[in-house]
């Protein structure tokens, strides 16, 4: 059951990234981030009457704090792609699921079958192979690696998303998947403190196409979040993290068609490795 739930965000997060990219190119990343959080709040609020009571205020605030890590990661990710080397940023951020797997094995002591462990290794190897462009990285002076302006922001995203998608399991097990997800949407309010965002909102011209893209980004993104948190209630966050964290691979496949971006031979090998890893994890869970 948890494998099926983990496969949902694998697909829907990739679709959300596609629509988020389209909207960002139209109206800018800051407005997209604000719109994503605002529409997420409105969308998820519709389910509040059916969610039942909050069984622990303490763990609700824990989820709120962890939600801040998710939002910080979102903001620094877009900042990194704006000012940094795209190949470096994509490689660092796209590998956050490795941190999820390692932390989950350490903190939650997940017990894995040999085939599942091997599947996770294959899946993560495919993710790294797909994300890194080794021929470009070889041309980068290693002495100046961390002088790239986007790398520091990318590492912030790597850490914050790795921590969020690992530790969110704690409130999920205490107050359920819904109340663990909902608090993160509150952060559209603090974003209003950003002066450049307020200025953009004052001069905002309605873009119906971008509006619909943000809505679809919210729909697919939050459906994936629902499924991810529900999967965590079944345990095995190391397996769930490996599968859902491979969604950037699917995004690369979709981008090759939608944005006419060519897949290199290395990326094709990485895609095959990732799919084989997911298949091995699935077989091992039967």
Nearest one of 123, 122, 108, 118 to 238, comparing CA atoms? 108
* 208-234 core/surface letters (b: 16 or more CB in 10 A; e: else): eebeebbbbbbbbbbbbbbbbbbbbee
Residue 148 is predicted with a pLDDT of 60
Residues contacting residue 122 through CB under 8 Å, at least 6 positions apart = 273, 274, 276, 277, 280
3-state secondary structure of 19: helix
> pTM, whole model, 2 decimals?
0.79
Q: How far apart are the first and last CA of the chain?
A: 9
The residue ranges of the chain whose pLDDT is under 70 are 1, 81-82, 84-92, 94, 130-148, 235-236, 261, 263, 282, 285-286
pLDDT digit string (tens) for 32-44? 889 999 999 999 9
Helix (H) or strand (E) holding 204: none
Residue 244 token pair: 């859902």
- Cβ of 149: how many Cβ atoms within 10 Å? 12
Query: What is the structure's pLDDT at 153?
Result: 84
Alpha helices for 132-207 (secondary structure H): 134-137, 151-167, 169-175, 177-181, 188-191, 195-202
Question: Which helix (H) or strand (E) covers residue 176, if one does?
Answer: none
Instruction: List pLDDT tens digits, range 273-282.
Output: 877 887 777 6
């Amino acid at each position: 059951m948890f494998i099926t739930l983990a496969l949902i965000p694998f697909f829907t997060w990739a679709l959300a990234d596609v629509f988020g990219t389209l909207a960002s190119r139209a109206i800018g990343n800051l407005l997209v981030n604000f719109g994503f959080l605002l529409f997420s709040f409105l969308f998820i609020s519709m389910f509040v009457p059916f969610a039942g009571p909050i069984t622990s205020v303490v763990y609700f605030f824990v989820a709120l704090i962890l939600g801040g890590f998710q939002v910080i990661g979102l903001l620094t990710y877009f900042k990194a792609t704006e000012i940094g080397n795209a190949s470096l940023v994509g490689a660092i951020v796209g590998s956050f699921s490795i941190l999820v797997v390692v932390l989950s094995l350490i903190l939650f002591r997940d017990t894995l079958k040999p085939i599942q462990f091997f599947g996770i290794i294959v899946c993560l190897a495919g993710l790294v192979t797909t994300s890194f462009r080794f021929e470009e990285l070889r041309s980068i002076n290693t002495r100046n690696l961390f002088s790239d302006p986007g790398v520091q922001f990318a590492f912030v995203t790597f850490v914050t998303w790795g921590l969020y998608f690992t530790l969110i399991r704690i409130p999920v097990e205490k107050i359920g998947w819904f109340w663990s997800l909902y608090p993160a949407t509150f952060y559209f309010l603090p974003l209003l403190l950003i002066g450049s965002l307020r200025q953009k909102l004052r001069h905002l011209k309605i873009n119906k196409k971008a509006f619909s893209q943000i809505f679809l980004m919210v729909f697919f993104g939050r459906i994936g979040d629902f499924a991810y948190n529900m999967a965590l209630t079944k345990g095995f966050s190391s397996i769930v993290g490996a599968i859902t964290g491979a969604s950037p691979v699917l995004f690369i496949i979709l981008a090759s068609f939608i944005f006419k971006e060519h897949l290199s031979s290395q990326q094709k090998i990485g895609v095959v490795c990732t799919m084989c890893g997911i298949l091995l994890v699935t077989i091992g869970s039967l």
